[in-house]
Amino acid sequence: MRGAVMYAPGDIRVIDRDVPTILEPTDAILRVSAACICGSDLWPWRGIDPVTSPTPMGHEYVGVVEQVGRDVTTIRVGDFVVGSFFASDNTCEICQAGYQTHCVHRQPATAGGAQSELLRVPLADGTLVATPAMPEPDLIPSLLAASDVLGTGWFAAVAADVGPGKTVAVVGDGAVGLLAVLAAKQLGAERIIAMSRHGDRQMLAREYGATDIVTERGDDGVARVKELTGGLGAHSVIEAVGTQESMMQAIRSTRPGGHVGYVGVTHDVQIPGEELFFSGVHLHGGPAPVRRFLPELIDLIWNRVIDPGKVFDLTLPLDRTAEGYTAMDKRTAIKVLLQP
């Protein structure tokens, strides 16, 4: 089977790989219907995260179940399923509290790399959610978005305590930031400030519910959000980048008593303790427990209430994965869908 493997920064190849097999009785094997490239895949691509050995890539997936282990009871062969990037049992206390990414049995769901034709997923019953039937082809991009970027944007909005009557600011105009705008709208936010300097992304943000666009960044961006909120800052701020600048921009754009939901994977972020202490803001985030939201998100997509698949603005066959990395790196594509 074909699969994408990163050998070094800037060097990703689609090669023939071993067909995955059931290793544990709780595993499932999927035929991947669609996968994609994540902003976080760009960290090793750019050499910011080291690539120490050839690494199968991809952690977002939808597919059809081809095989299940003998202990799998709820997921069946032939199901079309969506899963998240961490496998979880969905039964332990942490899972039951809605934090499946911190499950006591958590493990990577996509160690074999989802940018491939076949994928082994551990803890299938706790990790995968089946759709009501085989989806219409035009729903597949949206279901794929649910496996990470939508679930992550949604969690960010929940972590930022978005709700009716609130003003929300979103730092980051990648797929997660754009889908956090969509989530904020669905969760009833009154005003949604999207921070973006790119025309195409601003348009999608507006389509998803942004009421204001702020193009300034850093301290200027903070000043602009304050200006738009009577000098107070937003009630809820979503951080969807992961850099020092974006994290501080998020904290400083939040009013005292407000909430920051941070989901950008942090790289060398240091929060000055004294500033945090005197800010009076709530901070919550981390790797999104996408599994918590999957049943609800699949339902919204299935009933065509939301259309998160619009973040995919480039579709490539799996064999052209490297072009997809380049397009996302150069920001000529928001998000790339790969067809095995």
Separation between Cα atoms, residue 37 and residue 169, nearest integer Å? 25
**x/- contact string, 161-200, with Zn ion (CB under 5 A)?**
----------------------------------------
For helices 290-302 and 149-159, the axis angle rounded to 10 degrees is 110
Give me the least distance between CB of 103 and Zn ion, in Å please: 3
Interatomic CA distance for residues 301 and 150, integer angstroms: 11
Structure tokens at 117: 């034709």
> Which C-beta is closer to Zn ion: that of 42 or that of 92?
92
- Dihedral (Cα; 135, 201, 199, 240), 10-degree rounding: -170
Which are the contacts of 115, defined by CB distance < 8 A and separation ≥ 6? 3, 4, 14, 35, 37, 56, 57, 58, 318, 321, 338
| Binding residues for Zn ion restricted to 196-255, rule: CB under 5 A | none
Q: How far is the CB of 105 from Zn ion (least distance, A)?
A: 6
Instruction: Closer to Zn ion by CB, 88 or 249: give it.
Output: 88
Q: Can you read off the two tokens belonging to residue 38?
A: 């994540």
Nearest distance from residue 98's CB to Zn ion, in Å? 11
Touching Zn ion, residues 98-127 (CB under 5 A)? 103
Residue 87: CB minimum distance to Zn ion, A: 10
Give the nearest distance from C-beta 323 to Zn ion in angstroms: 38
Contact code string over 83-102 relative to Zn ion, x by CB under 5 A:
-----xx--x--x-------
What span, in angstroms and rounded, lies between the C-alpha atoms of 90 and 192? Answer: 33
Choice between 103 and 170, CB closer to Zn ion: 103
Which residue's structure tokens are 């980048």?
A: 241
Query: What mask of x and - would describe binding to Zn ion in positions 47 to 86, judged by CB under 5 A?
Result: ----------------------------------------
Q: How far is the CB of 94 from Zn ion (least distance, A)?
A: 5
Provide, rounded to whole angstroms, the least separation between the CB of residue 3 and Zn ion. 28
Measured from the CB atom, the residue of 92 and 130 that comes closer to Zn ion is: 92
Q: Pattern of binders to Zn ion over 314-333, x per CB under 5 A? A: --------------------
Q: Whose Cβ is closer to Zn ion: residue 99's or residue 262's?
A: 99
Q: Which residue has the tokens 């904020």?
A: 184
Residues 27 to 46: which contact Zn ion by CB under 5 A?
none
Encoded tokens for 6: 């990163």
Taking the least distance from each CB to Zn ion, the nearer of 112 and 289 is: 289
How many positions of this chain bind Zn ion (CB under 5 A)?
A: 5
Nearest approach, Cβ of 85 to Zn ion (angstroms)? 15
CB 250 within 8 A of CB 237: yes
Q: Provide the minimum distance between the beta carbon of 90 and Zn ion in the complex, in angstroms, as a whole number.
A: 6
Report the residue number, 37 or 103, with the smaller CB distance to Zn ion.
103
Q: What φ, ψ does residue 96 adopt, rounded to 5°? A: -65, -25
Q: State which residue, 89 or 239, has the beta carbon closest to Zn ion.
A: 89
Considering the complex, state which of residue 14 and residue 124 has its C-beta at the smaller distance from Zn ion.
124
CA distances (Å), origin 161, targets 4, 156, 231, 257: 38, 9, 20, 11
What CA–CA distance (Å, rounded) separates 276 from 255?
Answer: 12
* Burial label, 34 (beta-carbon count in 10 A; 0-12, 13-18, 19+): buried
Within 10 angstroms of residue 290's Cβ, the number of other Cβ atoms is 29
Beta bridge partners of 121: 28
Residues in touch with Zn ion (CB under 5 A): 88-89, 92, 95, 103
